[in-house]
Amino acid sequence: MKRKVLLIDDDQDLLRSFHINLEIIGYEVTTATDSEEGLKSLKKEKPDIIILDVMMKTNLEGYNFLHKIKEEPEYKMIPVLLLTGMTDQIGVNLYSVVEDVKALPNVRFQDKPIPPIKLVEIIEDMIKE
């Protein structure tokens, strides 16, 4: 059975690139361009992992989505990889907000850009945990 990945990012080029690379490796991939669409896909697809952009329509849309799903028992343990270019863009480092494993279990943070091979390594490591 293929592992399911939900990619949520407003960058269409990034979505296409990650989608193609992950499908080639054998993942079943669903994409969404914002948190609202992402929530619908989450409920429908029940992914094994979520790859989530922090900045979409608003600066912290992905972070707010993360908090919302981690409050739900059904989704709390789904691994989430937060991707951001915020550190470079505005000098904000949000790593500390995801370090609390009790409040936000199974969450990792990764700066953009990320090479596809590195993304795959992180996904495989997070799904194993």
| CATH code, 74 | 3.40.50.2300
How many domains would you assign to the chain?
Answer: 1
Asked whether residue 125 is domain-assigned, the answer is: no
Domain carrying residue 54:
4-111
Residue 86 lies in a domain: yes
Please check whether residue 121 lies inside any domain of the structure: no
Quick one: pLDDT at residue 99?
A: 52
Q: Is residue 36 part of a domain?
A: yes
pLDDT, tens digit only, all 129 positions of the chain: 799 999 999 999 999 999 999 999 999 999 999 999 999 999 999 999 999 998 888 878 998 999 899 999 999 999 999 988 755 444 445 545 555 555 677 898 888 889 989 999 999 999 986
Question: Angle at CA 66, nearest 5°, toward 101 and 104?
Answer: 10
pLDDT reported for residue 58: 83
Render the burial of 60-85: b for 16+ CB within 10 Å, e for the rest: bbbbebbeebbeeeebeebbbbbbbe
